[in-house]
Amino acid sequence: MTQAEFLQIVMPFKDKLYRVAKRLLISSEEAEDATQEILMKLWAGKKKMGRYKNVEAFAMTMTKNFCLDRLKSKQSGNLKLVHSNYADNGHSSLQQQVEARDSVGWVERIMDELPEQQRLILQLRDVESYEYEEIEKLMDMKPTAVRVALSRARKAVRDKLIEKHRYGIG
């Protein structure tokens, strides 16, 4: 496989790998390192790539496992908890931008409190727009278990947001 062929296969989903790594590791720097590490592993195994039905699913599984290993390792104590601000390139007012950033921040904090499996399934389905079948394969779960975990994650996020907005109201 040539470098051009590799890039043609891998580059379309490179950003997804980063977003999943960021969701798991939180730190932008750690997510970038993880993504680069996965890309290097894919390049090293480029000869085997033709064996996989879905290279993207394989790479997502690699990313998930790499990040989970990283969190479990002794190095996890050194991970920086850094939340990046999301840039809004629209022409909304400053107040709308602040409110949007605040809302995104709340959802991120709530998602970070979810159990690991629910957090990852919610990320894959609602942020990355993966199909249920793809999530089932990536997570090695039964269809019902994926739907239940997603439902519980969504309910937890919804309940926490409702609680936040009702706080202090008689």
Domain covering 1-79: architecture: Orthogonal Bundle (1.10)
Per-residue pLDDT at 71:
77
**Range list for CATH 1.10.10.10 in the chain:** 92-170
Per-residue pLDDT at 147:
93
CATH fold of 92-170 reads: Arc Repressor Mutant, subunit A (1.10.10)
Per-residue pLDDT at 164:
75
Tokens of 37: 């590490």
Q: What are the average pLDDT values for consecutive 10-residue runs of the chain, which has 170 residues?
A: 87 92 85 92 87 88 86 55 43 66 74 88 84 88 92 89 66
**Range list for CATH 1.10.1740 in the chain:** 1-79
Per-residue pLDDT at 111:
84
